């Protein structure tokens, strides 16, 4: 095995890190931390249905398609609200955002 970088990661270092991982992962999350990490996502839905769509007059017969200049839509959603490239993202690393099912 080659030396240099590989030498830097010693068996002792690995053992220390694994020991720490075991200790951290088996400690209970505080209620505060658990709350902070959770937020509500959209519940996944089954997509195979046997129902018909909204009628005759919608998308199916529309001739709107992407053919160069025929396209008439511009993005008009939340993308307009994002910050300029220079501002800080304001988002820390290793925060979890979980999907939580709504019942």
Number of residues in contact with another protein under rule CB under 8 A:
80
Which residues are within 8 A (CB) of 40 and not within 5 positions of it... i.e. 6 or more apart?
99, 100, 102
Q: Which of residues 29-88 bind another protein (CB under 8 A)?
A: 39-66, 71, 73-79, 81-88
Q: In whole angstroms, how close is the CB of 80 to another protein at the nearest point?
A: 9
Please measure the distance between the N-terminal and C-terminal CA atoms of the chain and give it in whole angstroms.
55
What CA–CA distance (Å, rounded) separates 98 from 89? 20
Q: How near is the Cβ of 32 to another protein at its closest, in Å?
A: 16
Q: Rule CB under 8 A: which of 13-32 touch another protein?
A: 13-26
Which of 33, 34, 35, 100 touches another protein by CB under 8 A?
100
Cα gap 95→39, rounded to integer Å: 11
CA 89 vs CA 40, 75, 84: distances in Å? 21, 22, 10
Query: CB 7 → another protein: shortest distance, Å?
Result: 9
Minimum CB distance to another protein, residue 33 (Å): 11
């Amino acid at each position: 095995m080659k030396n240099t970088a590989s030498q830097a990661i010693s068996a002792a270092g690995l053992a220390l890190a694994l020991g720490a991982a075991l200790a951290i992962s088996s400690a209970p999350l505080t209620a505060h931390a658990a709350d902070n990490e959770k937020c509500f996502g959209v519940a996944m839905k089954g997509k195979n249905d046997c129902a018909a769509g909204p009628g005759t007059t919608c998308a199916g017969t529309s001739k709107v398609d992407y053919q160069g200049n025929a396209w008439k839509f511009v993005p008009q959603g939340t993308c307009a609200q994002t910050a300029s490239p220079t501002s800080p993202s304001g988002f820390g690393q290793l925060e979890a955002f979980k999907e939580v099912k709504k019942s």
